[in-house]
Amino acid sequence: MGVITIVGKYRTGKSLFLNKVLLNNNNSFKVCPTINSCTKGLWISRQVIKSECPDSEDMDVIVIDSEGFGAMEETEAYNNRILLFALLLSSYFIYNSVGTIDEKSLNNLNVITNLAK
Percent of the chain whose predicted confidence (pLDDT) is above 90: 1
59-66 and 92-96: which strand pairing? unpaired
Amino acid at 2: G
Question: How many angstroms separate the most distant Cα atoms in the chain?
Answer: 45
- The angle formed by the CA atoms of residues 25, 31 and 37, to the nearest 5 degrees, is 150
Which pLDDT score, from 0 to 100, does residue 58 have? 83
The tens digit of pLDDT for each residue in 20-70 reads: 777 777 767 766 666 666 678 788 888 888 887 777 788 888 988 888 777
Reference 87, options 66, 71, 103; nearest CA is 66
Residue 112 sits in which domain range? 2-116
Q: Which of 4-13, 28-37, 69-78, 88-97 has the lowest mean pLDDT?
A: 28-37
Q: How many domains does the chain have?
A: 1
Residue 54: CATH number of its domain? 3.40.50.300
pLDDT of residue 8 exceeding 80, the answer is: yes
